[in-house]
Amino acid sequence: MAALTRPFRRRFLRRGRGAAASEAEQRAAQPDLAPEQTPVEIAPNDPLLAYFQSAGEAVDIEELELDSPALRELKAAGVKLAVPLVSQGELIGVLNLGPRLSEQEYSSDDRKLLDNLAAQAAPALRVGQLVREQEAEAATRQRFEQELEVARLIQQNFLPKKLPDLPGWQVAAYYRPAREVGGDFYDVIPLPDGRVAFVVGDVTDKGVPAALVMSATRSVLRASATRLIEPGVVLERVNEHLCPDMPAKMFVTCLYGVLDPASGRLRFANAGHDLPYVKTANGVIELRARGMPLGLMPGMEYEEKEAVLEPGESVLLHSDGIAEAHDPDRGMFGFPRLKETMAGSPGGQKLIDSVIAVLEAFTGPGAEQEDDITMVTLQRSAGAAIVAGSANGTVLAEFELASEPGNEREAIARVEAAVAGTGLEQARLDRLKTAVAEATMNAMEHGNEYGADRPVSIRVLSSADSVKVQVTDLGGVTELPEREAPDLEAKLAGRQKPRGWGLFLIEQMVDEARVTGDEGRRTLELVVRLRGGDDGDT
Amino acid sequence: MATRELEVTLQERGGAAVLALHGDVNASAEAALQSAYGKATSGDPGAVVLDFSEVEYINSTGIALIVGLLAQARARDVEVRATGLSDHYREIFEITRLADFMTIEEEEDHA
C-alpha cells in the first residue's frame, strides 16, 4: 500500500462523463486547467481501495454497499460505473463514468469494452507515472548540481588568479575541489613592505554554506593582512570578525605565514590547521604553532613562530584532503606518507606533481576524490641569497672539471685566480683553498664516482663582505655521506679508519657550509668572509 | 696547477731520521711516504722528522696518511716531529689534533 501514498494515484473525478482517468489525472496535476473537476480522495484505510484493487472488472457504484466515505462521495457525484486501473497488482487509477448519455444502463458489451480499455490503459498509465517520477528526480538532482556549481564558482572566484613572481623563489599552488565542493581555500597576499603572506585554510561543511564562510574568511584575512604585521595578530583579528556571524557547528582552520623573500624568514601562526612541512638538508620537519580554529569562540590567542628557509629548502602548506584520503580498503593516506613523499622529491611544482601521483596511486584508479585537495609550496632557489640580494651577487667564475683524481688542484688554482681582486685575507684564502679542494674531491668521488661523463661544476660568487663557492655534483641526494666525527685517538688506536677528514676540514675552514640539492644535483656551498673577526687567524 | 708527485729524501740530522718531503701530500703520496718511513725506522732512529718545507699542498687523504704513519710510530714508540709547516697547515694540524701527538718544530717560517 505504500505506493498509494502518492497523492495522484488516489485522485478521482467526482463527475467523469466518460473522461479517461489518465487525462483526469493530468488535469488534477494542473488544477488551474480544470478547476471544476475536484478529485475524490480515497483514504489509505478506505475499504473501497481494497475492493477496487481486487475487483478485476468494472464496478457498479450504485449497487455497491461498503462503509466507505469515498464510495459515498462517488455516489453523491453521480458516478454509475467505476473501472479500476490495475497494473502489476497495484491500483493506479480509476475510470469513473456517470450515466450514459442515452440514459440507458451500461450493457455487458459496454462493460467488456471498458474492461479491455482498462487492461490496456493501466500499463500505459503506469509508464507515464514512472516517466514523471524520473523527471521529478532529475529536477531535484539538477537543483543539487546547480548548487554545487554555485559553490564551485564562489570558491574559484576567491582563489588567486595568478601567483606572485618572487625572485629567487619558486611558488606553486594546487587546488582541486571534490565533486561535493568542500571549503578549502588558499591565498597569496603581497604586503606593502615586499613581504608576502601565504594562507591555506579549510572550512568545515561542504557546498554553498562552506563557500560563503570561506569567502567571508578570505575577505577579512585580506583586509587584516595588509594592515597588521604579526601573523598571530592577524588570526586573532580574523577570529574576532568571524565569531559573531559564524553558523552553528561551522569553523575554519587556517595556516597563515608571512615570508620575507630576501632573508627566507617565515613567520607563521596556525588556527588548528594541518602542520606545514619544511624540507631541509637534514630531512622533513613540521612547523608547529598552537591555536584554535577560527570562528569557534572569541578572545583566542595564536602562538607565533619563525622558521628560516635556507637556499634549496622548501615549505609545503596543505589541506587534510591529502592525508585523509583512503585507499580501496579504507586505509588512510596519512601524514607520514605525505612527509615521505616530500622528502623524496624536489620542491616547487615537482613536489606537487609527485604528491598527486603518489596520492592517485594510493586511492586507486577512478576513485572519487573525497575532499578538496589544496597545496601551496614555496622553494628557495639554491643560491637564492645571491640572486635575491640587492647589492651583492657577482659571479666571478663558473667552470666545470672532469672527475679525475688530482683535479681538485685545478679547482683551487681557478678559485684563487677568481677571488684575486676581492681583498680576501691570505689566511682566509688558504682556508678557502683547502675547503674547495676537499669539496671538489668529495664531489668527484662520492657525487660523481669518478664518472668520465660526470663533471663537477664550480661557481665562484662575491658579495660585499664574503666570497661564496658552490661545488655541484650529480649526486642526487642532498645528504652528504655518513660520517663519524673524526677522533684522532680512535684513529691512532685503529678503532677508526685513518680517513674521514674531508667534511670535518670543510666545516672548520669556512664560515658557512651548507648542502642544497635538486633533481639529481647536489651543491655544497662554502662561504668565507673577506676579513676575520675573532676566530684567531693571524 | 697539476699535482706534484711526492718525492721523499731521507736525511740524518742529530740522531733523527729526517724525511724531506717534496711535492703534494695526497693519495698518490702513499707509496713514497711508506717506503721512506720504512727505511727511516729500519735504522732505529731516536725520532722521525717530517719536513714539510717543500710541500705546498696537503689534503684530507694526506692527513690520513700522516695519521697512519703516526699510528705505526706510536706502536713502536718512535717519536714523530714535524717541521717546515706553513701557518695554514700548522692550523690544520692543530684543528685535527695531530699537533697533540707530534711536536711541531717552529725554527723555519713558511707563512
DSSP A451: -
Which of A437, A438, A499 is nearest residue B64 as measured by Cβ atoms?
Answer: A499
The residue among B30, B56, B59, B90 with the most chain A CBs within 10 A of its CB, best to mutate, is B59
Residue of A74, A63, A6, A65 whose CA lies nearest to A38: A74
Residue of A342, A278, A344 whose CA lies nearest to A310: A278
Asked, for residue B111, whether it belongs to a domain, the answer is no
What's the pLDDT score for residue A496? Answer: 79
Residue boundaries of the structural domains of chain A: 2-133, 158-384, 391-529
Contact at CB, B68 and A498, closer than 8 angstroms: yes
Contact at CB, A431 and B98, closer than 8 angstroms: no
Q: Which residues of A touch B71 (CB under 8 A)?
A: 491-494, 498
pLDDT, tens digit (0-9, with 9 covering 90-100), for A425-475: 999 999 999 999 999 999 998 888 898 889 999 999 888 789 999 999 987
Q: Is the pTM of this model over 0.80?
A: no
Nearest CA in chain B to A495: B71
What's the pLDDT score for residue A365? Answer: 81
Fold of A391-529: Heat Shock Protein 90 (3.30.565)
Q: Which residues of A touch B27 (CB under 8 A)?
A: 405
Contact at CB, B2 and A409, closer than 8 angstroms: yes
Domain that holds residue B52: 7-104
With beta carbons less than 8 A apart as the criterion, state whether A80 and A97 touch.
yes
Which of A409, A486, A498 is nearest residue B57 as measured by Cβ atoms?
Answer: A409
**pLDDT by 10s per residue, chain A, length 538:** 333 333 333 444 444 444 444 444 444 444 443 334 566 788 888 999 889 988 888 999 988 998 999 999 999 888 999 999 998 888 888 888 888 888 788 888 888 999 999 988 898 988 998 999 999 999 988 888 888 888 888 877 778 888 888 888 889 999 988 887 778 999 998 887 788 999 999 998 888 888 888 888 998 998 888 888 789 999 999 999 999 988 888 899 999 999 988 888 999 999 999 999 999 877 899 999 999 999 999 999 999 998 989 888 899 999 999 999 999 988 999 999 999 999 888 888 889 999 999 999 999 888 888 889 999 999 988 764 444 333 346 778 888 999 998 899 999 999 999 898 888 999 999 999 999 999 999 999 888 889 888 999 999 988 878 999 999 998 765 555 555 668 888 888 887 787 778 888 898 899 988 887 766 788 888 999 988 765 444 4
A304-308 vs A283-286, strand pairing mode: unpaired
CA atoms within 13 A on the CB side of A523: 22
Asked, for residue B34, whether it belongs to a domain, the answer is yes
A158-384: CATH superfamily? PPM-type phosphatase domain (3.60.40.10)
Ordered DSSP codes for A68-124: -HHHHHHHHTT--EEEEEEETTEEEEEEEE---TT-PPPPHHHHHHHHHHHHHHHHH
CA distance A430 to chain B (A): 6
The residue among B55, B76, B88 with the most chain A CBs within 10 A of its CB, best to mutate, is B88
CA atoms within 13 A on the CB side of A482: 1
B40 Cβ neighbours under 8 A, 6+ residues apart? B10, B17, B19, B48
In whole angstroms, give the CA distance from residue A205 to residue A295.
Answer: 13
Contact at CB, A501 and B70, closer than 8 angstroms: no
In whole angstroms, give the CA distance from residue A271 to residue A231.
Answer: 11
Q: Grid cell 479517461 — which residue?
A: A20
What's the pLDDT score for residue A446? Answer: 86
In whole angstroms, give the CA distance from residue A372 to residue A307.
Answer: 27
Asked, for residue B49, whether it belongs to a domain, the answer is yes
Contact at CB, A498 and B2, closer than 8 angstroms: no
What's the pLDDT score for residue A401? Answer: 92
Q: What are phi and psi of A357, to 5 degrees?
A: -65, -45
A81-87 vs A59-60, strand pairing mode: antiparallel
A41 Cβ neighbours under 8 A, 6+ residues apart? A7, A10, A11, A70
The residue among A424, A434, A508 with the most chain B CBs within 10 A of its CB, best to mutate, is A434
Alpha-carbon torsion, ordered B97, B100, B106, B108, to 10 deg: -50
Contact at CB, B95 and A441, closer than 8 angstroms: no
DSSP A326: B
Q: Which residues of B touch A440 (CB under 8 A)?
A: none
Which of B1, B24, B96 is nearest residue A413 as measured by Cβ atoms?
Answer: B1
Q: B83: domain CATH number?
A: 3.30.750.24
Contact at CB, B59 and A441, closer than 8 angstroms: yes
A384 sits in which H/E element: helix A384-388
The residue among A404, A407, A408, A409 with the most chain B CBs within 10 A of its CB, best to mutate, is A409
Q: Which residues of B touch A412 (CB under 8 A)?
A: 1, 57
Q: Which residues of A touch B77 (CB under 8 A)?
A: none
Count how many domains chain B has. 1
Asked, for residue B109, whether it belongs to a domain, the answer is no
Asked, for residue B1, whether it belongs to a domain, the answer is no
CA distance A342 to chain B (A): 35
**Which residue type, as a one-letter code, is found at position A134?**
Q
Which of B3, B63, B64 is nearest residue A409 as measured by Cβ atoms?
Answer: B3
Q: Which CATH number among 3.30.450, 1.10.3470, 3.40.50, 1.10.287 corresponds to the domain A2-133?
A: 3.30.450
Contact at CB, A505 and B95, closer than 8 angstroms: yes
Asked, for residue B110, whether it belongs to a domain, the answer is no
How many CB pairs (< 8 A) connect A and B? 76
Nearest CA in chain B to A431: B88
